[in-house]
Structure 1
Amino acid sequence: MVPPGTPRRHELTENARMVIRYDPESDALAFSPATRPGPDGVAVVTARGGHWCLTNLHAEDTYFVENMETGGEFIKVAPRRADIPIPFELARLVIPVQRGTGVVNVFGPEPRFLAVSSVAGRTTNWPRLDERCVYFRVLVALCEPQLRGGPPGAVPTVMDVIARLGGRLPQRLSRAAVNHHIGYLATHKLRIGEWAGVSDGKRSYWKREAIVAMALRSGLVEEAHLGLLPRRRVTGPQEPVPSRAPAPRSRPGR
């Protein structure tokens, strides 16, 4: 476990526990292998054979555990919830503190997989998406913020999608075209009405959020698909261009 900004690292053996503490005076997180959390303890991490567990010691605050490998995937840990299993190998634990949030990175055990011979060769029930179609690129553009580590609710608008796909498609998409692809994904491909148990007729923003949530949770869109989008322009502070002419000498004050 590594708190950002510090080089400290703590290794846990199987069934070992580590208490995460918060010091309000220094506004910093600390770690202790003590068996009893104490009054300043905020969470407990326990190492298991194939996963790790988290205990939320707070009486009111909910903690979030984000998957650092797959954007948009997270687990909520309710107050006073004990030993909830966390399946993420690389995770970011977000703890609210007095002056913001405390973040702890947890590197869990490597995942275990069954042998190929013991896996049943069944046909997948997830929908098949054609990565060569425009609707799939629209879906990737909608999922991009969360694939790049943005918050779960970060879903681009229709105009954001149009601007993001500009330059890669032979013809610039219109607002009506993007809405058509979103409706096609929601109604025919992903069938989010059946999946979410709601009727059709919702506004576009609801459909955008629903198809992004389903695509990311089911693994239909992954970080590798970001290569289908145009390269992002770097917009940041530029270094000033040095003047070619020498600066004039300042006259001494009279």
Structure 2
Amino acid sequence: MHSIIVVPMHGTCPDDHIHLEPGDSLPFGRTARPHGPHLTIPHEGVSREAGEITTAGAYWRISNLSSAQTYVVENPEGAGEHIKVAPGRLDAPVPFEFARVVLPAGSELLSFDVWAPRHDFLDSTGPRDGAPTACAFPLDRGKRYFHVLVALCAARLRGEPHAPLPTAEELIDQLRPLWPAVSRTAVAWNIDYLAVKLRLKPAPDTVPGGGPRLNGKKERLVSLALRFDLVRETDLALLSGRGGAAR
């Protein structure tokens, strides 16, 4: 699994995502670089060399190369959780599994997302020799993406093995008790993230124009989750806010 995935501000297509391995660095700023990976933010309010992201295994660090602007890294799933990165600060560690980097740019606020889907776990209580074991399906039951996965699988978890996949409106209805601000866009974003998190391989579920069909992705997520018991009947309590992990 890639250590870090950077999603540009208008990167709605998976081909736009920038995948980084442990130890890789990604500069970002207004001026494109002719060689190597670079996240270009073409706005006159952004410094030519604004900053740099460096991956460090299962997390990442950010450097603010601006001389005057403070950057903010938000947790989109938190209750206002964020960290400030002061001008000139180097290698500030970011603790969020997915984060939004917000840059002041004149009268605007520009942003891009950074995902850290890799989780490493100790595989024994003895000495830690060698590389840690990468978890096959690193899911956090307290995150909204897991709640979306439970909602996708809910009918089949209730004993309807051939139930049709829920529509976007049905998913929203199921999720609203624990996520009042849920929207179609947010649900689609979480489904895309689950596809990355669970390492779904690209499949021939494309429309003639080449874009992904959401139903095909949903069907493969449900099939994988049920086959490997990633969600269970007891997880249905999350949808009513009784699961303890729900916000």
TM-score between the two structures when normalised by the length of structure 1? 0.39
Structure with bigger gyration radius: 1
TM-score between the two structures when normalised by the length of structure 2? 0.40
